Every structure is written in C-alpha cells, then in structure tokens.
A = this chain, B = another copy of it.
Amino acid sequence: MSDVLTPEVPGTVPARKSRTLGKVRPHQTQNEALVFEKSSPGKKAYRLAQLDVPKVDAAALLGENVRTESAGLPELSEIEIIRHFTRLSTWNYAIDLGMYPLGSCTMKYNPRVNELVARIEGLAEAHPYRPDHLAQGQLDVVDLLQQCLLEITGMDAITLQPAAGAHGEFTGILLTRAWHESQGNPRRTILIPDSAHGTNPATAAICGYSVENLKSNGQGGIDLEALASAVNENTAALMLTNPSTIGVFENQIHKIAEILHAKGALLYMDGANMNALCGKTRPGDFGVDVMHLNLHKTFSTPHGGGGPGCGPVACKAFLEPFLPIPVLVKDANGEKRWNYDRPQSVGRVRAFFGNFGMFVRALAYILANGPDGLRQTTEDAVLNANYIRHKLQDLYDLPYKTASMHEVVFSDRKQAKSGVRTGDIAKRLIDYGFHPYTVSFPLIVQGALMIEPTESESREELDLFIDAMRQIAREVEENPQVVLDAPHSTRVSRLDETTAARKPILRWRKA
C-alpha cells in the first residue's frame, strides 16, 4: 500500500514515500521546492517597456563600479511564480481561515475596504517629497487620523511617525527623557513591571536608561507599596501596560499616576491593549502622560505575517515641544503643511512621515465604526474574553481571579501534572483547526495560555474553540501522548529548533 497516500499517524515514522506519490504531492500540500530550486536559465516573467531613449554602455559609464556578475536571483515563468507563492500561502493559517486567539496581538478581522483605499492611485503613488500644496489630500488623512486618535486617547498631541509599537515606545521614552533633560536632569531608571512585554525593557535600554523591575502584586497588578518605595528622583518613568498583559485593568491607575507625579516621574502607557478601552475610558483622563498605540492591533491594519505596523505616540501638552519632526500644522488659509522648525524636538525616528499606508487603513477602520461602533467593538471584545474564561475556568487553572478585560490568561498547572505543557496544548489546538493562543507570556504566569478572541469572533466560533480546549483537557487525562506528539494534521510535524539555532542555515546556497 506504500503508494497510497497515507499521512503519518503518531508513533509511526512514515517513509517519505507515504506522503508523496513519486515526485509529486497532492496539490493542497504541494511538495513546493525553494524558488531557487525551481529556477532554470533563460526563463522570464518580466517584459520591460520599449526603451525610448538611447541605450547606454553601463560598463563605460560606471567603470570599475559596474556589476560584473549578476546576483543569483531565480529565473521562473510567471505561472510558476503564481503557483509557487499560491502554494506556499496554503501552508499558512490566517484570520481569514479561522479564529486566531494570539493573546496581546489582537488578531481581529482586517476589512478588505482598508486594502482597497490604501491602493487608490492618488494615495499609493504619492511621493513623500511632493510639495505640501500638492499633498493636501495626504495631509487630510494624517490630520483626521491624528484628531481621531487624540479624541480616543484623551491626549493633547500626537506623532504618527513610529513604524510599530516598539518604535512608538522608543519615541515615547525619548519624549520623557527630553522633558526631564529640559527640567535639568534626564534621570536614570525606568520602572517596568515583571509582567511587561519584552519590548518595554529593550526600549528603555536603547534610550540609555537602566531598567528596574517591579514585582506584580497578587492580582498581577502594580503593588503600590513596592512602587512608592521604588520611585525617586532617579525615576524617569513607569512603563505600564493597561489593561495589563494578563488582561486586567489597573483600577489603582490614578494612585499610580499620583505616586509617580509626586516624584516628578512620568506615567508611560503601553497601549497595545487599547482595544479594551476604546470608547469606554481614556488614558488621558486617568493620568497617563505619554503612550503608544498599535494601529495594526487596535485599528485592524493587517498583521501581514509580521508587519508592517504603525505605532503612533500620543502625549500631554507639556511633552508636545519634543515630538519628532516634522509635525503637521494648519496655516491661516487652512492649507496644511509640515513644520520642521522645532528646536526642542527629539529629532527624527524614521525617514519621511511614517507608515502612511497604515494611516489610511486605520482611518478607514475608524470611519467604518464611528463612536458607537468603536464602543460596541470594545464591549464585544471584552464579552468574548469573559465568555471563554467562564467556559474554561473549570478545566484550566486561572492564576489571577481579577476581572478580565479583552483577554484571559490561564496556566497549564493542571495539565503539567500529566507532563503536558502550554506549548503542547497549543500544538494540539492546531489539529482542531485553530491558531494557538500566545504561549508562555506573560512571564508572571508559569506556563501561560494567553487567549485573546477579539470582537471579530462569533459565538459559534467561540463555542468551537471552547469545545476544542475542553476536549484537549480530556485528552491530557486519557492520552497525553496524542497531545505531546501534536500537531498531526500539518504539512510538517514539530521542527527541530535546537539544531536550527546551533548550526544556523539562514540562506539557500547552490549545492
């Protein structure tokens, strides 16, 4: 039977033959080689327009600067290229295929109208150095998005320049530092809770600050005593994620702000979880001095397999003078332009104006929702997370009992007894047709299962997910090996990451 297609069954290591028929593999999981391996000399997928000026002799023009041997790029026909990337795409899981409850990443639906408007020729083909008076349409987009984000956050000023959340953190902490310097002393440390995302401490370091970790309290929140004793004249700011990475709102937030402000320190808010607050409460109102947003999370610009994103930074008026250059201003005649003349600015964090294409998408999302839509979205996201919490808390350990906002974080304590860890449960979830939750983050939870459904999921999909999680819990009891060997349904089984890191192969080379 070896030539009948029989996907492997756990335990049995199949001969290659059993997954391929001769040289070929059924189309949904084509045996797709690397693009370089499919290349053959002379194939072309391009045709340039006829050259309407005299040809030139490159060698003569460039002398020894001419490239003598071509780069080893592949040569394929157009249909082969379409097939290559189409087949590769079928090996990906995506929001478009099902629930993607990756905690903290807010994998919500990405409306297709966002993609359409971002590709309108007048927007997609605009050169960043086009004179301002010819770019009024582009500046309208920047202006309206800034206004909307300021209203949503309750802050006073904003920059859209940062390209992602971490880039926003960098910008926000630079503002903090510039302000402290303007007060005569940049200060030395940034306080960061042990529950924080890795980008927070990494950012503080790049900005020349030393990181002081804050132990979370029993509820996974800020321990006010610990904070009070930690804050002093050397404290530049506290980087706080609110709701926290365990999905809990810091209800002491105003006290936290007071403690910091009393010592002249600032409150930085990591806004990655802003999707739990939009339309319900505003950081600007509860004492935040500076924060970043992730447009690719809260405002639905697609994650695109890892990016691009956009991480605007909003701040209070006293930080406005330090914003990166340029900033958008309106002239008396109502004409909009970029202002570069900002002596106190921290400078630039990126060339040009930021990921404009993401501005367009985020603005389209905001317009599609409006005030009521944004509030509804937040409420649904929180409701969905609490629904999952309610339906799973009997089988999975809930380390923190505080009320959940947009996500719920369980631990694998119960399953660990059978030797099954959060990573194994995640892999088994794949067999059930879902992308796993976020694994082993935040660090304050041993073996965390961080689940964020977002508002996009229907009750039907949530029930399927809950059903899957409950069955896996049962499997852990009855047949842990099945879970330990998961996934069983994917094109590749678990991959050897150790060897990958020990002997890195980071590129293809001609054999």
Contact = CB atoms under 8 A, between A and B. Distances in A.
Nearest to A430: B26
A471 B22 contact: yes
Interface in A270-305: none
B5 A488 contact: yes
Interface in A443-502: 456, 458, 460, 463-464, 467-468, 471, 475, 479, 482, 488-490
Given A3-B471, A21-B431, A96 B82 contact: yes
Contact of A22 (B6, B24, B467): B467
Interface stretch (A83-91, A122-130, A180-188, A341-349): A83-91
A96 B78 contact: no
A193 to B, nearest CB: 33
Nearest to A370: B47
Nearest to A87: B97
A80 interface: yes
A328 to B, nearest CB: 29
B482 A3 contact: yes
Interface string A16-56: 00000111111111100000001010010001000000000
B96 A83 contact: yes
Interface residues of A, number: 59
B26 A464 contact: no
Nearest to A111: B78
Given A109-B79, A467-B22, A40 B97 contact: no
Contacts of A96: 82-83, 86
Contacts of A67: none
Nearest to A428: B21
A97 B87 CA distance: 6
A109 B83 CA distance: 10
A82 B113 CA distance: 12
A30 B98 contact: yes
Contacts of A430: 26
A14 to B, nearest CB: 12
A30 B432 contact: no
Contacts of A24: 432-434, 464, 467-468
7 contacts: A3-B471, A4-B482, A21-B433, A22-B432, A22-B468, A24-B433, A79-B456
Given A28-B90, A83-B96, 20 more contacts: A1-B9, A4-B488, A5-B488, A6-B7, A21-B433, A22-B471, A23-B463, A24-B433, A26-B432, A26-B433, A26-B489, A28-B28, A28-B489, A30-B98, A77-B458, A78-B111, A79-B95, A79-B109, A82-B96, A86-B97
